Amino acid sequence: MSKILVTGGAGYIGSHTVVELQNEGFEVIIVDNLSNSKIEVLNGIEKITGVRPAFENIDCLDYMNLDRMFETRGNIDGIIHFAAYKAVGESVEKPLMYYRNNLVSLINLLQLMPIHKIKNIVFSSSCTVYGQPDQLPVTENAPIKPALSPYGNTKQICEEIIRDTAHAAPETYQAILLRYFNPIGAHPTALIGELPNGVPNNLLPFVAQTAIGIRPELKVFGNDYNTPDGSCIRDYINVVDLARAHVVALKRMMNNKMTENIETFNLGTGRGLSVLEIINDFERVNDVKVPYQIVGRREGDIEKVWADATLANEVLGWQAKETIDDTLGSAWAWEKHLAETEPKSV
């Protein structure tokens, strides 16, 4: 049985990926310092798959502890590196916290990989590296635009660090960079999902919290964009679809199918939806009201972006499958699950 280390595996995308890995017969070790997640997520994973993943409460900044973990666990076949801070606004206020956490965690792993004879790493990148693309849908060859936040910059720099490292030692490393568009939704069982941390910045958690009454109303940031209904357009991708892509990427590496030792893929649906479309669909699918008000634009927002996912379709054989209705249904089911199990977080 292949053994995979999942850093940040207790988090939103990580936990869904652990489930898909276990469903495909991988043995999983999670490394997470629980800075943005809770240990209870392991119960959810275990309920879904019947297997409790191994868990190590380690900070990826802690080189010595990571080293010890690799030594004790032995024979790890690949790493999926999710662990990072991800709040755009916070990164503007605390840039060094973001640069340290996101860059040093990656550097530690890359340094430890050859020592422990691990060749394969999958990295969580983001469509944020494209900024506002000149052409839509955006392909992997689109130019990387100057980052709009320190968070976005960490993703660009991490990509470069991996590229330089893999280039310098092609026999030692294989890397797949996955550029996620906007992950939303939760596992269909509603046993795992995205955990709220204060007031959500992202659209879907805010929509769901408004529908359930935690927030009085959603603010729609702008209706004067150059889009059909004036609100911004994004490529919202189901988190389970996204998780499955990681399993496919790992298998590609482990089966020596890569054509170069570093490959990059967009992970999106190829379909752009506006903020107002998301609100209307959420209301229709879940038969709830989402009170909202149009307000001014949010600084730094991209007008419209959606993926050309042809490369992932053709090379990885991966495609987003879940419908937007099912995805918005899963987000609502998860919100209701949270309402039953968590005290209200305001």
Chain contacts with ligand WQD (rule: CB under 6 A) = 86, 88, 126, 128, 152, 182, 201-203, 206, 218-221, 232, 234, 275, 298, 301
By CB under 6 A, is residue 66 in contact with ligand NAD? no
- Using CA of residue 161, residue 266, residue 144, residue 105, what is the dihedral sign? negative
Candidate list 85, 151, 180, 225, residue with the active-site label: 151
What is the enclosing helix (H) or strand (E) of 339? Answer: helix 324-341
First-to-last alpha carbon distance for the chain, in angstroms, is 43
Residue 268 to residues 88, 96, 114, 229: CA-CA distances in angstroms?
20, 30, 32, 22
Which residue in 22, 86, 227, 266 binds ligand NAD (CB under 6 A)? Answer: 86
**What phi, psi does 269 have (nearest 5°)?**
-95, -20
8 binds, among ligand NAD, ligand WQD, none (CB under 5 to 8 A by kind): ligand NAD
What is the enclosing helix (H) or strand (E) of 340? Answer: helix 324-341
Which residue in 120, 126, 149, 266 binds ligand NAD (CB under 6 A)? Answer: 126
Catalytic residue at 151?
A: yes
By CB under 6 A, is residue 14 in contact with ligand NAD? yes
Closest to ligand NAD by CB, 179 or 215? 179
- Dist CA 118 CA 244 (whole Å): 22
93 DSSP β-pair partners: none
What is the enclosing helix (H) or strand (E) of 12? Answer: helix 12-23
By CB under 6 A, is residue 56 in contact with ligand NAD? no
Closest to ligand NAD by CB, 85 or 282? 85
Other beta carbons less than 10 A from residue 270's beta carbon: 18
CB of 177 to ligand NAD, least distance (A): 11
Closest to ligand NAD by CB, 7 or 286? 7
Dihedral through CA 40, CA 202, CA 267, CA 158, nearest 10? -80
List interacting residues with ligand NAD (CB under 6 A).
7-8, 10-14, 31-37, 59-61, 82-84, 86, 101, 105, 124, 126, 180, 183
Give the catalytic positions in this structure: 151
